[in-house]
Amino acid sequence: MNIDKSQLNYSWQEIANLTHETQVDIFGWCSCEEQKQFPYDDCPRKCDDCESEITLTLEAYGNGQLMRIDCPKCGVSYDTNLDPIEGEGN
Ligand SMILES: [Zn+2]
Ligand SMILES: [Zn+2]
Nearest residue to 76 via CA among 58, 59, 51, 44: 51
Span from the CA of 73 to the centroid of ligand 2 (angstroms): 5
Span from the CA of 30 to the centroid of ligand 1 (angstroms): 5
pLDDT at residue 4 is higher than 90: no
Please state whether the predicted TM-score (pTM) of the whole model is above 0.85: no
Q: Which residues pair with 79 in a beta bridge?
A: 68
Q: Is 23 helix (H, G, I), strand (E, B) or coil?
A: helix
Q: pLDDT tens for residues 8-52?
A: 888 888 888 899 999 999 989 998 887 767 888 888 888 888 989
Span from the CA of 31 to the centroid of ligand 1 (angstroms): 6
- Residue-range domain boundaries for the chain: 1-41, 45-85
Closest listed ligand to the CA of 45: 1
Distances (CA, A) of 35 to 2, 8, 30, 43, 81: 30, 24, 9, 12, 11
Q: Does domain 45-85 have CATH number 2.20.25?
A: yes
Span from the CA of 90 to the centroid of ligand 1 (angstroms): 33
